[in-house]
Every structure is written in C-alpha cells, then in structure tokens.
Amino acid sequence: MTHAEATHHTSTGLDSRKIGMWAFIGSECLLFGSLISTYLVYQGKSVAGPTTHEILNIPLTSVSTFVLLMSSLAMVLALAAVTRGDTLWTRVWLATTALLGLIFLGFQAYEFTTFVHEGLTLQTNLFGSTFFVLTGTHGAHVAVGVLWLLSLLVRSFQGKLGAEKALNVELAGLYWHFVDVVWIVIFTVVYLLQ
Amino acid sequence: MASSAPADAMTLRSRIWSWVTTTDHKRIGILYGVSAFAFFMLGGFEALIMRLQLSGPDAGIVSADTYNQLFTMHGTTMVFLAVMPLSAAFFNFVVPLQIGARDVAFPRLNAFSYWVFLLGGLFMNVSFLVGAAPNAGWFGYANLTSAQFSPGVNVDFWAIGLQILGIASIAAGINFIVTIVNLRAPGMRLMRMPVFTWMTLVTQFIVVTAFPVITVALVFLMFDRTFGTNFYSVAAGGEVLLWQHLFWLFGHPEVYILILPAMGIVSEVIPTFSRKPLFGYAVVVYSGLLIAILGWGVWAHHMFQVGLGPIADSVFAATTMLIAIPTGVKIFNWIATMWGGKLNFTTAMLFSVGFIAMFIIGGLSGVMHSSPPADLQQTDTYFVVAHFHYVLVGGAVLGLFSGIYYWWPKVFGRMLSESIGKWHFWLTVIGANLTFFPMHFIGLLGMPRRIYTYDAALGLDTMNLVATIGAFAMALGSLVFVGNVLWTWRKGEAADANPWDGAMLEWAMPSPPPVYNFSVIPTVKSRLPLWSEDGYEPKPLPEDPPGPIHLPGGSYWPFVTAVGIIVAAAGLLTGSLWVALAGIGVLVVGIYAWALEPFEV
C-alpha cells in the first residue's frame, strides 16, 4: 500500500484500486462473454472457406497455452518477491512474465500469418471473422499486459517499486491472471470443443 | 479582484484552466449538468423540427433523409447525451455528500469520464456540420447499417461515437461502484444509505455490465463496415438478428440505467416534502435490485415481431410482466409515504408527483407490450413512441427536474424561484401529455414510427397537430426553466444549509458545500441522520476543519487522455492512419503521465 492509502480509512478495509480492478474485470467478463457467445452462435454456420478442424493447429496452440499458463506462475512469484522486498527476484519474475507473454503473442502472430497464407482472413467466412476478432481482442489484452509489466520493470530499475508498492504489482497480476483465464476458456471453446 | 484588462484576461484564463483541470466531484457534477442540459436542448430542438414536419400531412419542412437524421440523433442524444449525463451530474454532486466522503474514489478518472463524454458527444454532433448525421435510428438495426445500404460516414459517426461514450460510462461506473462500496463514512452501513445512493450503485452495476455488450456489437459493425467481416452479412451465413440480440441485451438494461436514478431522486424528494420517512425503505431498495436483475432477462420483448417462436415469446412475456411487480411496489411505497404525510407541494415535489402519475401511464402501456399478440399490433407504431416517452419524459426527465429543484440550493447556494418553477412544471406536464397521449391513438390507428410524413386520408391530422402544440408547450417550459436559472443567478434568495429540512447528510453542510465537503467526517448512526436526535456525530459539524485536510490537486492529464481518444477516433472515421496514430500517441503519453504524476487522493 502507498503511504496515502495506509492513512486512509475505507469501508471494506480494501484499497479502492483493488476493488476498481475487480469491477473492471467484471465488466471485461461481459466483453469476452459477448465475443465468445457470438463465436458459438456462428459455429458451423460458415458457407465457404476453411473452418476449425481444417486449419486449427492444436499441438502448436497447446504449447502457447502452456506458455501463458506458466506466465501466471511467474506473475505469482513476482508478487511474492515484491511483497518481501526482494528487488532482484521481482525483476527476474516480472521480466519472465513479460517474456512469456511476448512468446505467446509470437505464437499468435505466427498462427495468424499461417492462417492468412492458408486462405483464412477476416473476410473469408464467419469462422474467420469470429475467430480473428475474438482471439485478436484477447491478444490485444495480452499486449497491454506486457506493456504494463515492462513499465513495472522499468519502475523497479528506477528504484520506485519497493515492498510498499506491492499493490501496483498485485493489480497488474489480477489483470494478467484474468487474461490468462479468458484464454483457457477460449482455448477450450475454440480449439478443443470443435 | 483585478482591475486592469490584462489581469482580467489572466484570471479568465486561469478560471477556464481550473475547470479543465478540476478533479473536484462537485465541479465535475456541474460540468456534467451544464453539458447535458445543452445536449437536452439540442435534442429537444431536433424533436421540434420533427413535430413541425408532422404537424400536418405532407408537410415539406424537411426531406425524408433529414428526418431520418433527426430521429436518429434525437434518440441517441436524449439517451446518451442528455438523460445519462444529467443523472451523472447528480451522482457526482450528491453521492459523495450523501455517504460522507470528501470525493469519489478516483478523482482523475472522474474528470476523464466527463471529458470523454463531452468530446464524444461533440464528435457525434459534428456529423451535422458535415451533413452526414447518423440516420439509421438510435437502435441501428443491421443490415440497414451495412456498408452496402449506408455507404456514407453517417453510421461511422454513430458507431464510433457510441463506443467513445461507452468508455466514459464504464469508467464512471467503476468509479462510483468503488466510491459507494469503499468510501462510506463510519456507521454508513449499506442499509443506512440514502435510496438515491442505492439506486446509483445499482445503476452503475448495470452500466459496467451492459456497456461491454453494445461495445462488442459496435465493434462487429465497425469491422463489417471497415474491414469487410461477415458478422451481420446474410450472404456469408451471418444473421442480422445477432445485432438485435446484442443491442437489446444492452438496450433493455439501458432503460433501467435511465430510470433508476430518477427513481432514486423521487425517493429522496417525496419523504422530504411529506415530512415522513420513506415507507418500506428496504423493500424500495430490494425492488431496485430486482428491477436491475430482471432487466437482464427481458430483452427479446423488443423482438417479438421477428418471430422467435412461441416458447421464447412466452418466456420473455412472463419475465416482462414480472418486472412490473417491483416497479409497482415502488410506486405504492411512494404513495404510502405521502399517505398521511404533511405534504408541501414545492416545485421539486410537484415534479416527483408528476413522475409517479406519468410513470404509471407509461408502465401500463409497457405491460400491454409484454403480451406478444398485442405487441405485434403496436410495434413500430406511435403507440410505442407514446409508451417510452411517458417513461422517459414523464419518468426520467420529470424525476431529473425534481432533483434539479431539490438540490439546486445545495449546489449553488441560491433558491430557484418557486413561482417560475411552477410555470415550468405545468407547461412541461401539460405539454408532455398533449404531445404523447394522442400518440397512443395515432399508433393504434396505424401510423408507423420513423416515417417522415403521412397521408391526409388517414384522418390523423388533428391529433398530430395537438401533439405538435404539446411539444412546443414543453419547449416553452424548458425555456421558462432557463429563465428561472437566469433570474436566480441575479436575484435568487440565498439558501441556508438545509432549506427543505431534508434528512440526509448532504444537508448537514453549508450551501454551497466547502471544497472539502465535511469539516469533520461524521459518524452516522441512523438512516435519517438529520431527522433523528443522535443521527450523526459530531452534531453540528464544526464550521472550520480542526486540522489541515489533504485534497487532491488538479490534473490536466485526464483531459489530454480524452483528447487522445477523440483524435484516434477522428483518424478511424476519416481512414487516416497518421491521425489515428497521433491520437494513440497522445493517449499513451496521457496514460503514462497520469500514472506517474504525483497525485494523492
């Protein structure tokens, strides 16, 4: 907690920013819920072009899913490190989390380009439209998360991320875990339950 | 203060700057109120042109295309730029005072919400200046909005503009949820909160859950138009109904976003002027919660005409009828509050009583729509227009005016004129009934909505003329209100701390409140702090704070960030990558500067 919060009384005893982040995550649930529902409604309705089983590469995406899951583990370790005031391991685990996020984005960029070469674009069919917008929105969330983690890393190198700022890491962590959980749902719905 | 001309210019500039950078919830509330009222007058002006066009058959005031733009922008403006932000004005000014807080949880986010709303509203209305205002209705049904059938930028203005306004609403929603959950004064338990604060909380939960749904629908629309995706493309196997489901999944909860704040206001005004505590406080609160929850399960009653099948129709008919129960409960509670009370019919009270009467009429015609066979006859006719204007003008707008008369003394320290106010009230109520009551008959006799003219052979001339006369009476009422404000500005009687003898905490401090609100944060001991012997401590609040109070300073980064969003949107609209990138650049700089500037709440 920051000094300001430490002296502030709140009704729940929780920091306002934490409740705000939970409210934001609640809002995001409806965003992804609408995207996933649309994907499900349009599943199997494409009239042309390649769809799910013809094009999705499950082994490859399983690897990137594993990478993203591991990034959540690194995130937990980063928060633990910053809470106990361990600067070195804070940096290591923040960097690891961001790196794993970047690797996930690399997989996604590879997947998208492969699909385009195989003839699946936004315009090809309903599968293309719903798949790219759903996974692209998720990818954009990962990208924002990576920027956030890298910003925290910079703050750490500036000496501005001590144990008293652990909440800043915790907030990024809440967001990161949420984006991770959303991916598990997407992976299950899009890739596994074709 | 300053006598020389340059110094005056300096103070003017610094005064404007202080409004741009303010993070004070009270000033942001005033900004919301002034902007929303300006949009309200604009939306009303659009309605007057439409009513002139419909005052007689085959009138040639505007073309069919202009008429399409007018009804689209009238609906969009009134919903998103007038009623919602007018409610936001009250959330901002009143809620922190009612819960005993010094500000909202995130003062800069609050300023950001306001600036995004204002710039987003201006963005949408700029479309008039380039002659391409949105013209596909406020509901924007696919595939009317597709690139094929709406090739101009009209729909782009609408789709992008609404996404911008969604950002403002969600940010404000999160802010007020956290404020009410976390910043209550000691002793202000949930079931001691004033009903207006409760309804604000419920409304914000609807906002943060409903707006993402329309955002997704609008993103699909934008992608369809810009990148050629197939979301609403029938040729590719898509369904235009997807839009209707997503839109009304948002759209019906939106109805409660519009009405619940007004219900909260009425629940404050009626007890004050009946000299009685609100009858059945807990039931009123739970009814509001129930309305919000049920509001998520009724969306397809907007879609009976598409033929969802008997089972879906029956389910949605039943849920729609169910929602009348908590609504009816609230009405009986307000009436029971007045029953046996010492009634004082001030202008604020008149507007609240007008709300009840008009809302009952709108509610009754609403229950008529819940029956699919009846709805099939009424849908897309003026009957529906009559219904939702009784709810939105008779309900939301009368409720908001009631709040304006009630809290004006607190906000500005002066009493609005009661005698002018009564002219305002009667002109508005008589005008509204003249306008909207005949529309029930016009609709049942077969006149469709959204059509720019009608045939003399329909025999609807007289009723349409009456409706037009009523619309002008309402407009006159609003001008009388403007006159009241101007009169009050110059000659209004000064208000003391609690001119109406209200029961809630906002009346415990001077009018207008000092910048820090409470000299000492009170400890609340009652649901009616100012009406009970030991309702709150210390009593009275000391005139000056005993020690220094930390207040957050101003910040211009919320404004800069909002500008970044609008510039990016302009780039998207014009298809200019460089403008979009410049906007995103400003946005990123704004966010980082915001996060890093020293600012303690």
Q: What is the CATH number of the domain that holds A132?
A: 1.20.120.80
Rg (CA), chain B: 24
pLDDT in the model for residue B551: 83
Q: Is B253 on the interface with A (CB under 8 A)?
A: no
Residue B209 is which amino acid? T
Who among A3, A16, A35 is closest to B178 (CB)? A16
Residue type, B370: S
SS in 3 state form for chain A?
Answer: CCHHHHHCCCCCCCCHHHHHHHHHHHHHHHHHHHHHHHHHHCCCCCCCCCCHHHHCCHHHHHHHHHHHHHHHHHHHHHHHHHHCCCHHHHHHHHHHHHHHHHHHHHHHHHHHHHHHHCCCCCCCCHHHHHHHHHHHHHHHHHHHHHHHHHHHHHHHHCCCCCHHHHHHHHHHHHHHHHHHHHHHHHHHHHHHCC
Domain count, chain B: 2
Q: Among A19, A30, A48, select the one facing B178 at the smallest CB separation.
A: A19
Give B-chain residues touching A45 at CB under 8 angstroms: 237-238
Structure tokens at B586: 């400003």
Q: Are residues B502 and B595 in the same domain?
A: no
Predicted local confidence at residue B6, as pLDDT: 55
In B435-454, which positions are buried (b, 16+ CB within 10 angstroms) versus exposed (e)? bbbbbbebbeeebeeeebeb
* Residues on chain A touching B177 (C-beta within 8 angstroms): 19-20, 23
B106:A16 CB<8 A: yes
Contacts of A22 in chain B (CB under 8 A): none
B231 interaction partners in chain A (CB closer than 8 Å): 38, 126, 129-130
The residue segments making up the domain with residue A160 are 3-192
Residue B426 CA from chain centroid, whole number? 22
3-state helix, strand, coil in chain B (%, to 5): 70, 0, 30
List strand residue ranges (DSSP E) for B37-162, in order.
none
My answer on whether B176 and B95 are in the same domain is yes
Whole-angstrom distance, CA of residue B353 vs CA of residue A149? 54
Range of the domain at B185: 24-554
Nearest CA among B19, B181, B197 for reference residue B106: B181
Helix (H, G, I), strand (E, B) or coil at B523: strand
User: Which chain A residues contact residue B230 at CB under 8 A?
Assistant: 123, 125-126, 128-129
- Is A175 a residue whose pLDDT tops 50? yes
Mark whether B209 and B229 lie in a shared domain: yes
* pLDDT classification of A4: cutoffs 50, 70, 90: very low
Q: What is the ipTM of this complex?
A: 0.95
Helices assigned H by DSSP within B516-576: 557-574
Is B177 near chain A, with CB under 8 Å?
A: yes
Q: Within this chain, do residues B559 and B475 fall inside the same structural domain, yes or no?
A: no
Residue B536 DSSP label: E
The domain tally of chain A equals: 1
Helix (H, G, I), strand (E, B) or coil at B448: strand
Task: Assess contact for A125 and A47: CB atoms under 8 A.
Answer: yes
The pLDDT score that the predictor gives to residue B14 is 87
Mean per-residue pLDDT, A161-174: 96
Q: How many CB pairs under 8 A join A and B?
A: 117
B415: domain CATH number is: 1.20.210.10
Residues 231-250 of chain B whose Cβ lies under 8 A from any Cβ of chain A: 231, 236-239, 242, 246, 249
Please report whether residue B17 resides in a domain.
no
pLDDT for residue B5: 54
pLDDT attached to residue A6:
41
What local confidence, expressed as pLDDT, does residue B8 receive? 67
Q: Looking at the domain assignment, is residue B460 inside a domain?
A: yes
Q: State residue B64's pLDDT score.
A: 96
Which contiguous run of DSSP H or E holds residue B492?
Answer: none
Same domain, B125 and B157: yes
B454's tokens: 């009608």
- Average pLDDT, consecutive stretches of 10 residues, N- to C-terminus, chain B (601 residues): 53 89 97 98 98 96 97 98 98 98 96 98 97 96 95 97 98 98 97 98 98 98 96 95 97 97 98 98 97 96 94 96 95 98 98 98 94 94 97 97 98 97 98 98 95 94 97 98 97 96 96 95 96 91 90 91 98 96 98 90 69
Contact B594, B563 (CB under 8 A): no
Do B181 and A34 make contact, defined as CB atoms within 8 angstroms? Answer: no
Question: Six-digit token pair at B141?
Answer: 């049904």
Region A86-99: what's the mean pLDDT?
Answer: 98
What pLDDT score does A8 carry? Answer: 62
- pLDDT tens figures, A129-149: 999 999 999 999 999 999 999
Share of chain A above pLDDT 70, in %: 96
Q: Are residues B148 and B39 in the same domain?
A: yes
Residue B8 lies in a domain: no
Query: Is residue B9 domain-resident?
Result: no
The tokens describing B197, both together, are 């604060």
CA distance, residue A109 to nearest chain B CA (Å): 19
Question: B170, B207, B230, B601: best mutation site toward chain A, by most A Cβ within 10 Å?
Answer: B230
Interface of B with A in 97-116 (CB under 8 A): 105-106
Nearest CA to B472 among B70, B76, B61, B52?
B52
